[in-house]
Amino acid sequence: MSERAELIERATAAYDALADLAETVEDEWQYVADLRAAYRSSLEGLATAAEPLPADAAEAVEEAIAEIGLIADPHRAIDWLSIFPHVVALALGGDVDAPSGEGPGDEHGGPTNGGSDEPDDDNPLRILLEGRS
C-alpha cells in the first residue's frame, strides 16, 4: 500500500469516528449521514492520485487527524464533518469539491461546487484555496 493510501486510510478512520460522535445528535442524524456519505468517498478518492505526496503533507494530515481526535462535543463534530475533508485535500493538493467530471468530488459521488473552477464564496477554506497554484 502506498504512503498516500495509508494516510487516507487513517484519515477516513478518523473521519468515521468523528461522524459516529456527530450521529449522537438525534435531530441531525440525516444531515450527518449525508455528509459522511459524500465526503468519505471523496476522501477515499484522494488515495488514488498518482502524484507523490507534497512536502509535509503527511505531517499536516496527521495533525488534522489529531485535532479532530480531540473533539468531544457532537455539535462541534458536525461542524468538522465538512471542514476536515477540505483540510486533508488541501494538504494533499487535491480537492473534495472538484468541478463536475474532474476529480473525486464528482467521480466518487461527493459534493461538487456546481462545475465552477473557483472555490465557493461560502467555502470556509476559500482564502487558502485561492492561493493554491
Tally the domains of the chain. Answer: 1
Residue 116 located in a structural domain: no
Residue 83 located in a structural domain: yes
Based on the number of CB atoms within 10 Å of its own CB, is 70 exposed (0-12), middle (13-18) or buried (19 or more)? exposed
How much is the mean pLDDT over the chain? Answer: 80
Residue 37 located in a structural domain: yes
Q: What is the DSSP letter of 53?
A: P
Averages of pLDDT over each 10 residues, the chain, 133 residues: 91 97 94 93 89 88 96 96 94 74 38 47 54 52
Residue 35 located in a structural domain: yes
Q: Are 105 and 95 in contact (CB under 8 A)?
A: yes
Residue 45 lies in domain: 3-96
Residue 23 located in a structural domain: yes
All three cell numbers of 37:
456519505
Which residue type is seen at 55? Answer: A
pTM for the whole structure: 0.73
Residue 32 located in a structural domain: yes
Residue 109 located in a structural domain: no
